[in-house]
Amino acid sequence: MEHIMHKERKLNFFERYLTLWVFVCIALGVLIGKIAPNASKFLDGMAIYVNGAPVVSIPIAICLFFMMYPIMVKIDFAEVIKAGRSPKPVGLTLFVNWAVKPFTMYAIAYLFLGILFKGLIGSEAVDFVKLPPGADWVLGSIHGAGRVVMQEGIKMLLVPLWRSYFAGCILLGIAPCTAMVLVWGFLAKGNDGHTLVMVAINSLSMLFLYGILGGFLLGVGRMPVPWQALLLSIAIYVALPLVAGYLTRIWIVSRRGIGWFNERFLHVLAPVSIIALLFTLVLLFSFKGEMILSQPLTILWIAIPLFIQTCLIFGVTYWLAKKIGLRYEDAAPSAMIGASNHFEVAIATATMLFGLSSGAALATVVGVLIEVPVMLLLVKVCLKTKDWFH
């Protein structure tokens, strides 16, 4: 197992320079949005429609499937079952991811975006959030969060722009870890098996908890809660690639063996997730190009609460791990898993619920932007404090 995981988690070319690629895609997307706005609108118009309203963007759905599929292929369900033998690290990770992290993200994002930075974002600035079919019933409980307008024949909710960013932060806060955490755990010299198992358990737990927590916190945050679309996003962007990955793994291992699967197939598949992510970023920023050029500090206002949240959750998990007597090899990946966000699902859900051009979608993209440099910083913190654990 150790040998397999070591092979699996070397930094490849795309992972090593992910921050650079994100900046390049932002620039490219902004440029496309500026010089060819009709191209991005045409792509966004390629959607699955329900009752005359676009519910699933086909280009985004394809990109996001290929983001998630390589992650799900790696999941070994036999290892997930064995995780019950080490309840402490698993219990700590689940507790932080689902009982602590969503609520600290809510509080921090509201403090900065809803109070401290509200004037900088523009207290009068508004965003158009699409209302999927069946979401109208939510409007009675929003208490003045916005009003319904018609835009190109689609019902849209006019909300304060800061609140749209706030919704994107919430979606990030309830999406625990990504497969990139395998890299962070490897660099921090943590327990490889524990890291992989927790990625699998988080993916499975999201099927049941992501929609419930997302609906609750978005409702408290006075944003529309289209439950049907929320559950559909989990089915398309988590369940579908999970099933596809499971079937692929079973088929290849039965025909070629686990060695060929890990050393050849996963090696070829490794850059697919990152490439799909970069294509998605180009689409997202092509819609936000005009706004970013007119308000270049917007990304900074969103990044600050996300940075604080990441460091806070890392610190809390790391401290709790020491208190309950975990070894460093389990404490480091537990803290990394808590700090990391499953930004693929967050981006998918934001674009599906609120639209490709929404502030919520932009906020989830900012999560990608800060993920790599911040997590590399936390890896160094782990290595420097390794002697704290016995």
Burial of 102 per CB tally in 10 Å (0-12, 13-18, 19+): buried
DSSP string, 69-96: HHHHHT--HHHHHHGGG-HHHHHHHHHI
Could you tell me the mean pLDDT of each successive run of 10 residues in the chain, 390 residues long?
43 66 81 76 67 62 78 72 71 90 94 89 67 46 47 62 88 78 76 72 76 78 55 69 87 89 82 76 70 73 94 94 88 88 76 75 82 84 86
Q: For residue 224, what pLDDT is reported?
A: 53
Q: Which ranges of 261-297 does DSSP label H, i.e. alpha helix?
A: 266-294
Beta bridge partners of 151: 154
Q: For residue 8, what pLDDT is reported?
A: 43
Q: For residue 138, what pLDDT is reported?
A: 41
Is residue 245, in this structure, part of any structural domain at all? Answer: yes
Is residue 217, in this structure, part of any structural domain at all? Answer: yes
Q: For residue 62, what pLDDT is reported?
A: 82
Is residue 390, in this structure, part of any structural domain at all? Answer: no
Q: For residue 313, what pLDDT is reported?
A: 95
Is residue 270, in this structure, part of any structural domain at all? Answer: yes
Q: For residue 211, what pLDDT is reported?
A: 76
Is residue 153, in this structure, part of any structural domain at all? Answer: yes
Is residue 19, in this structure, part of any structural domain at all? Answer: yes
Q: How many domains does the chain have?
A: 1
Burial of 24 per CB tally in 10 Å (0-12, 13-18, 19+): middle
Nearest to 96 by CA among 312, 302, 347, 385: 312
- CATH number of the domain that residue 103 is part of: 1.20.1530.20
Q: For residue 369, what pLDDT is reported?
A: 76
Look up the pTM and report it.
0.71
The range of the structural domain enclosing residue 159 comes to 2-385
Is residue 342, in this structure, part of any structural domain at all? Answer: yes
